[in-house]
Amino acid sequence: MKKKLTAILLAVFLVTGLAGCGSKVPAGTVATVNGVAISQEELDANFNQFMQMYEAYGVDTSDETLQINLRNSLLESLIVQELIVQEAENREITVSDEDVNAYIQSVKDSYGDADAYVKVLEENGYTEASYAEAVREQMVIELFRDDLVNHPEVVDVAKARHILVATEEEALDVIAQLDKGADFAALAQDISTDMGSAVDGGDLGYFALNGDTTSKMVTEFSDAVRAQEIGVHSSAPVQSQFGYHIILVEDRELEVDLLSNPEKYSAVLQGIYNSGLDNLAMTLMENAEIEVLIDTTTMESAK
């Protein structure tokens, strides 16, 4: 039974948050996100749970570098999650007390013994109140994720194929073969180093060219797709961090309502569902006021 409840706790512990109070920072604050405090207690609870999980898998947790990297990674996650929760509030995405209480009651019922339930909460660094807040925020985040797909932003999309090779010389040779009439899909299958798309003749399907919530190609690739004539392969290699691309743009559409044809744009919508909140958080971070109040090079606690 303990493992069952602990799994539920692990599913929500990264989204707990404490309300800040303007410019006054509570004691023991490790970071603030637009004035909202993330507490040392909250970070410690997350850290201790991960350390327990590492130890259960036989990881040597005595290494201070491991501890620092884990603590910093968890702090970054808490900052991102706080940004998401704040944006959900701005969009008036809320969860009722009844829904929160119903979920918590189901957890209590599954555990059977109320005292045992409270004990496990305490062992994982929670009070009943802080766990209820964690549950609420997790439920809000799930609603927010659904909302991003049910009301997707209007974006530009394209459908393209590409052949990826390691050197510019190889790319120029591919272009020369295409200029002489070689089949693009067949070449992609034979020589493209992008194994995920090579099997489909370099087909990347539909993907977004812009948007705050969409998952996009690297900038060099997207810029080339925007500029390139439809139905014609690249006349010059397109270099990115992955190598050299030869691109064939098959379709390009501007200001698309993705729900106008969800099957056609399913990959874009799936990307929004899987990564939309993280993508949005990166955009929000650019304009957020974030202050880290601990030394990220040591394991010292906040004052």
* 9/148 Cα distance (integer angstroms): 25
pLDDT of residue 15: 39
pLDDT of residue 130 exceeding 90, the answer is no
pLDDT of residue 13 exceeding 50, the answer is no
Nearest to 37 by CA among 47, 49, 24: 24
In sequence order, which residues have a C-beta less than 8 Å from that of residue 288 and are 6 or more positions away?
Answer: 33, 34, 83
pLDDT of residue 134: 86
Confidence band of 109 (pLDDT split at 50, 70, 90): confident
Average pLDDT over residues 122-143: 88
Q: Where are the domains of the chain?
A: 2-150+282-292, 155-256
pLDDT of residue 199 exceeding 60, the answer is yes
pLDDT of residue 58 exceeding 70, the answer is yes
Judged by average pLDDT, the poorest of 4-13, 104-113, 142-151, 255-264 is 4-13
Judged by average pLDDT, the poorest of 74-83, 126-135, 194-203, 275-284 is 126-135
pLDDT of residue 183 exceeding 90, the answer is yes
Q: Which two tokens stand for residue 124?
A: 């994982």
pLDDT of residue 19 exceeding 70, the answer is no
How many distinct helices (H) and strands (E) make up the chain?
A: 11, 7
11 DSSP 8-state letter: H
Q: What is the b/e burial string over 49-64, where b = at least 16 CB atoms within 10 angstroms of the residue's CB? A: bbbeeeeeeeeeeeee
- CATH class of the domain whose range is 155-256: alpha beta
* 79/285 Cα distance (integer angstroms): 9
pLDDT of residue 11 exceeding 50, the answer is no
> At residue 168, what is the residue type?
E
Average pLDDT over residues 92-110: 92
Across the chain, mean pLDDT equals 89
In sequence order, which residues have a C-beta less than 8 Å from that of residue 289 and are 6 or more positions away?
Answer: 32, 33, 34, 35
> At residue 234, what is the residue type?
S
Confidence band of 191 (pLDDT split at 50, 70, 90): very high
Nearest to 39 by CA among 299, 298, 294, 277: 294
Average pLDDT over residues 148-176: 98
The answer to whether domain 2-150+282-292 and domain 155-256 are alike in fold is no
Q: Which CATH number fits domain 2-150+282-292: 3.30.70.890, 3.40.190.10, 1.10.4030.10, 1.10.10.10?
A: 1.10.4030.10
Q: Model pTM?
A: 0.79
* 63/94 Cα distance (integer angstroms): 41
